Structure 1
Amino acid sequence: MEIYLTENCSINTLANHFQLPVELILQSNPLVNSLNLEEGSTLHIPGWRIDGTDSFESIRFDYPYDLKKAKLMETPLIHPKVEYDFDALQRDLQLLEGNFPFIRKKEIGKSVLGLPIYELIIGNGPKKVHMNGAFHANEWITTAVMMNWLEDYLMMIVKGDVFNGREVRKLYEEVTLSFVPMVNPDGVNLVLCPSRIPEDVLQSVIVLNDDKEDFSQWKANIRGVDLNNQYPAFWEIEKERKIPKSPAPRDFPGNAPLTEPEAMAMAILVEESNFDCVAAFHTQGEEIYWGYLNYEPKRAAKMVNEFKRLSGYKPVRNIDSHAGFRDWFVYKNRKPGFTVELGRGVNPLPLSQYDEIYEKSHGIFWSLLYM
């Protein structure tokens, strides 16, 4: 909600009226450089709306005369239980940015077809946690579920709620959350809406797909490279033993590590950010992979047991797999990294599983913040 000051006012007075921390108001208004505001100023108030209006309606709100018209948002802004393509992500990001302007959005790279790969940053704390989804195209439901978690978190920050005994505003102060909800936007669009793929590219992809126009089993990026087999953690082993020796709907690790722009964008993000832990969300199996050749630190075991307690998912320490994003992070940094397989069944998981996936897994999101 945007307000117009009809008289001089202090940030502290606004914070008291809207029951928000001063820092949250300042972070929602980065151009404000004073604790004292002059008549005629406009400011964003996160998580509040004018009673009886939609969250994005542009209606003048005169402060303090219109205070009785203001109310905290109570209903969700986004409705992610849909076939969640890149357009759905763009739409929901606009809603969340508009209503929670303390979010910082960065473009960390572009896909092969030039779609932006977004990182959302929430908080300024010393602990740095990274989460990502949709490395694999037909696992797009991970993005939808993650965006649901994100809106929950943002709203609870504004309300000053508590989760599992933890004050959410304190988590916001202590943690910097890096959130990349869709690593593979071209692939997701190919699976869900192939008509949006340029015709010449689509025809070449059909050839890779055994001349089939059903892309529901496609995992790779638009060039037929599996982005989660692209990282320099014993990549050579995967290159040698993977059956596809050329671009394919899944499993081809490329001709060298980090050849694909999406994989490179994620690698650069890790190199520049010094994350304390990472979690990559995939489907399916209700399992959590947490070890890698004994390079993982001891505290990873404690963390994964908390994930198990909250979700019922099965921890799996080691599997015979290399070259994944998480593998590389653990191998390179000796820090906790997790691959979380949401849901059960055959990919792509149906939306009929959405509610169950969300209920079982949302505790993993929260515990990544407070562990």
Structure 2
Amino acid sequence: MFPIIHPIPFIPRKYDFNELEKDLSILIREYPFLKLNIIGRSVLNQPIYEIVFGVGERKIHWNGSFHANEWITTCVIIKMIGWLCQTITLKELPFHKELLDLFNQNTLSIVPMVNPDGVNLVINEHVENKEYFSFVNQINEGNEGFTGWKANIRGVDLNNQFPANWEIEKERKKPKTFAPRDYPGDAPLTEPEAIAMSNLAIERKFDLILALHTQGREFYWGYNHLEPPISEVYANYFSSISPYRAVKTIDSHAGYKDWFIQEFRKPGFTLELGKGINPLPLSMFESIFAETFPILLASLFNLENYYLNPFLKSQLYK
């Protein structure tokens, strides 16, 4: 099922949409068990890619780069995909058999770059579309460069776009129109990127999601007391295997994780990777990856059934 192929190293670098497409092309070619889907298109018609692998009934989802200047999250995801693929294909590597078992139990969906237009703007400080490039310069609040830009190319914050008390965020957010960050839009789910992510969750009915953001070295796991009891089990476990602090709730609404918990009553987590000022520097990448890796891997563990699996039990209590 999984042919033995030479592993592909990931080189940390400024990671725009073109770099993502290059790596996805290599991964799909070298690891034919991966599936590549297009779940929608951005404002500037860039494909929003989803990578899928595994054959299990339990459905897990990861995503990165909801926010444009948090593009290092995509780097973390792509390196993790490479590690998973090489561990699955190379029998001599540690945890090869255990990972095969996990991917017989799980199907993993990954959207590595939710906001390709925004990421391109932050990294390249330019977009080819003259109309939108003029627009973003007008609303960039006099800043030189776009390092503070979180929104999509239309100036809407994609992680304030979901119908989970969206009205509260609309009322209290300072930007009342399109802006580099925080503007939730004129209504929930107006932006094609947010619509694609909503449709994906509704179609797939994920059992657990991880949304990767920066920064803070903590993660959020509750929403309006709607999260199921198993969410706290995962939160305690994640915080025990990483330096990230578990925070149940913050005074925030309309995020992807918030909406997922409200809509499906399933475990959802927003991970704030690293600590510093966005965009976090590539010099922090290896430490961020090392801190995040255990949580990504542990999301594949079905903690509701851990006592049935000696490997999972040993990981839970080691």
- Report the TM-score, using the length of structure 2 for normalisation: 0.92
2:64 maps to 133
Deviation at 1:195, TM superposition (A): 3.0
1:78 alignment partner, one of 6, 10, 17: 10
Letter aligned with residue 154 of structure 2? R
Q: Tell me the number of residue pairs that the alignment of Structure 1 and Structure 2 aligns.
A: 301
Deviation for aligned residue 1:197:
3.3
Is 1:218 aligned to residue 145 of structure 2?
A: no
1:349 aligns with 2:280: yes
Q: Quick one: distance in 2 between partners of 1:301 and 1:202?
A: 44
Please say if 1:289 is aligned against 2:208: no
Q: Deviations over 1:8-57 (max 9, x none)?
A: xxxxxxxxxxxxxxx33xxxxxxxxxxxxxxxxxxxxx442xxxxxxxxx
Inter-CA distance 98–166: structure 2 relative to 1 (3 Å threshold): closer
Distance in 2 between residues matched to 1:248 and 1:128, nearest whole Å: 35
Higher CA-based Rg: 1
Runs (4+) of structure 1 exceeding 3 A deviation are 160-163
| Separation in 2, partners of 1:166, 1:226 | 41
2:299 aligned counterpart, secondary structure = helix
CA distance in 1, matches of 2:297, 2:209: 13
Q: Pick one of 244, 253, 258 that aligns with 1:327.
A: 258
CA displacement 1:99-138 (0-9 Å, x = unmatched): 1011000000000000000000011100000000000000
Alpha-carbon distance between aligned partners in 2 of 1:190 and 1:148, rounded to the nearest angstrom: 23
Cα distance between partner residues in 2 of 1:195 and 1:202: 7
Superposed counterparts of 1:196-215, under 5 Å: 196-215=127-146
Q: Following TM superposition, by how much is the alpha carbon of 1:196 offset from its aligned partner in structure 2, in angstroms?
A: 3.6
1:309 Cα deviation (Å)? 1.7
Please tell me whether residue 276 in structure 1 is matched to residue 202 in structure 2: no
Query: Are positions 1:185 and 2:128 aligned together?
Result: no
For residue 271 of structure 1, what is the amino acid of its counterpart? I
Secondary structure of the 1:370 match is coil
Could you tell me how far apart the structure 2 residues matched to 1:248 and 1:196 are? 17
* Shift of residue 333, structure 1, vs aligned partner: 0.6
> For residue 243 of structure 2, what is the aligned residue in structure 1?
312
The one-letter code sitting in structure 2 at the alignment partner of 1:184 is N
State the secondary structure of the residue aligned to 2:50.
Answer: strand
Q: Tell me what 1:9 maps to.
A: none
State the alpha-carbon separation in 2 of the partners of residues 120 and 271 from structure 1: 17
- Distance of 1:280 and 1:87 partners within structure 2: 22
Q: CA deviation at 1:249?
A: 0.3
Q: Quick check: 1:364 aligned with 2:295?
A: yes
SS at match of 1:183: coil
Q: Partner residue of 1:17?
A: none
> Quick check: 1:119–1:179 contact (8 Å CA) kept in 2?
yes
Q: Is 1:232 paired with 2:163?
A: yes
Cα distance in structure 1, aligned partners of 2:213 and 2:41:
21
Shift of 1:199: 2.2
- Partners of 1:77 and 1:96 within 8 A in 2: no
> Percent same amino acid among aligned pairs?
49
Task: Could you tell me which runs of 5 or more consecutive residues in structure 2 were left unpaired when the two chains were aligned.
Answer: 303-318
Q: Distance in 2 between matches of 1:77 and 1:106?
A: 23
Q: Which residue of 2 aligns with 1:298?
A: 229
Equivalent residue, structure 1, for 2:313: none
Q: Secondary structure of 2:300's match?
A: helix
Deviations 1:227-265 (A, max 9, x none): 000000000000000000000000000000000000000
Select the structure that is richer in strand.
Answer: 1
- 1:177 match: secondary structure: strand
2:131 matched to 1:195?
no
Check if 1:115 corresponds to 2:46.
Answer: yes
For residue 157 of structure 1, what is the aligned residue in structure 2?
Answer: 88
How does the TM-score come out when normalised to structure 1?
A: 0.79
The letter for the 1-side match of 2:10 is I
Cα separation, 1, equivalents of 2:125 and 2:193 = 19
- 2 CA distance for matches of 1:212 and 1:358? 30
Higher relative contact order (CA 8 A, sep 6+): 2
Q: CA deviation at 1:162?
A: 4.3
User: Is the CA contact (8 Å cut-off) linking 2:125 and 2:145 kept in structure 1?
Assistant: no
Tell me how far apart the structure 1 counterparts of residues 151 and 275 of structure 2 sit (CA, whole Å): 20
Between the aligned partners of 1:166 and 1:228, the Cα distance in structure 2 is 37
The one-letter code sitting in structure 2 at the alignment partner of 1:337 is G
Compute the RMSD of aligned alpha carbons: 1.3
- Structure 1 unpaired stretches of 5+: 1-22, 25-45, 49-72
Residue 310 of structure 1 and its aligned partner are, at CA, apart by: 1.7
